[in-house]
Amino acid sequence: MTEATPLVVKLGGRLLQEPKAIAELLAVCQQIKANRPLLLVHGGGAQVESWLHTFGFVTEKVDGQRVSPPEQMPVIAGALAGAVNAELVALADQAGLAPVGLTLGAGGSCRFECTPALGAVAKALPGQPALLQSLLQQHFTPVLSSIGHYDGALLNVNADLAAAALCQLLQGDLLLLTDVPGILQDDGRVMTKLSAAEAKVLVAEGVIKGGMKVKLDAALDTAQALQRPIVVAGWQQPELLLPLLAGQAVGTRIYP
């Protein structure tokens, strides 16, 4: 990965429920930020699930994406753009990252392509880079939730797809951190490399599915758009992130 190219790191929601792991990861982020601009994008699917149940809603996912009726959006946004974003900003501040909490629509950073079959769900597309570039130039760390908006209404975007759009916007590198050490074969081993053609076969065989299929789509789309590999890796071993960024075989590198 090139020096001074912005790095977009996506954190899955379950990481934010592990205080020790998030503290260790943010300490590594501080080291990364000493060398290159850093932007964090977070999920929070587990937190959304818990909030929706507390408010008496039933919720389901279709192909890894949450069906989001508009009447559930205040709760979904309350969890993602409210509690989870504010908590991550607080922890990132403590770690010295100078964070700025934002949603995807801030400064027109993303545009949105709605998926009406799933309710208020949308895919994010790259929009205007000026706000994020200006924050990065001033050494802030933008911290984005995956909440968007269109026509005055809130939208729920899968956080991997949100990170992909932001990475394409900034022509950056993308690191998708999740609760498994990479994309796994059916025997449980991590695949160190994966091409678009190989991925197609593994999806057809049902080896890659659900949330990992969405992550794979986000990675392939970005790898194709920027003609550079995208990494899916685990957050459980933050000590491997600096070697990963130095080019060592950690997690799964996805090639266009």
Instruction: Please identify every residue annotated as catalytic.
Output: 10, 13, 45, 160, 215
**Residue 62 CB, nearest approach to ligand X2W (Å):** 9
- Partner whose footprint covers residue 101, from ligand X2W, ligand ADP, none (CB < 5 to 8 Å by kind): none
Binding of ligand ADP by 203 (CB under 6 A): no
Give the nearest residue (CB) to ligand X2W. 43
- Of these, 131, 179, 225, 237, which contacts ligand ADP (CB under 6 A)? 179
Q: For binding to ligand X2W (CB under 6 A), which residues are involved? A: 12-13, 43-45, 48, 65-66, 76, 80, 121, 146, 156, 158-159, 211
The residue among 43 and 99 lying less far from ligand ADP, judged by its C-beta, is 43
The residue among 121 and 226 lying less far from ligand X2W, judged by its C-beta, is 121
Binding of ligand ADP by 238 (CB under 6 A): no
> Can you state the angle between helices 159-170 and 210-226, rounded to 10 degrees?
10
Q: Rule CB under 6 A: which of 76-105 touch ligand ADP?
A: none
CA distance 88 to 83: 9
CA distance 96 to 92: 6
E strands of 82-172, at which residues? Answer: 99-102, 110-114, 122-126, 141-144, 147-150, 153-156
Cβ 192 vs Cβ 252: under 8 Å: yes
Cβ 21 vs Cβ 235: under 8 Å: yes
Read off the tokens for 113: 């392509």
The residue among 5 and 195 lying less far from ligand ADP, judged by its C-beta, is 195
The residue among 218 and 220 lying less far from ligand X2W, judged by its C-beta, is 218
CA distance 113 to 155: 10
* Residue 138 neighbours by CB under 8 Å, 6+ apart: none
3-state secondary structure of 27: helix
**Residue 236 CB, nearest approach to ligand ADP (Å):** 11
CA distance 185 to 192: 10
**Residue 25 CB, nearest approach to ligand ADP (Å):** 13
- Partner whose footprint covers residue 77, from ligand X2W, ligand ADP, none (CB < 5 to 8 Å by kind): none
Number of residues in contact with ligand ADP under rule CB under 6 A: 18
Please indicate if the annotation marks 156 as binding a ligand: yes
Q: Beta 230-234 vs 173-178: how paired, if at all? A: parallel
What is the amino acid identity at position 71?
Answer: E
Binding of ligand ADP by 43 (CB under 6 A): yes
**Residue 171 CB, nearest approach to ligand ADP (Å):** 23
Cα dihedral across residues 58, 62, 65, 70: positive or negative: negative
Binding residues for substrate: 44-45, 66, 156
Interface with ligand ADP (CB under 6 A) = 12-14, 43, 45, 160, 178-180, 183-184, 207-212, 215
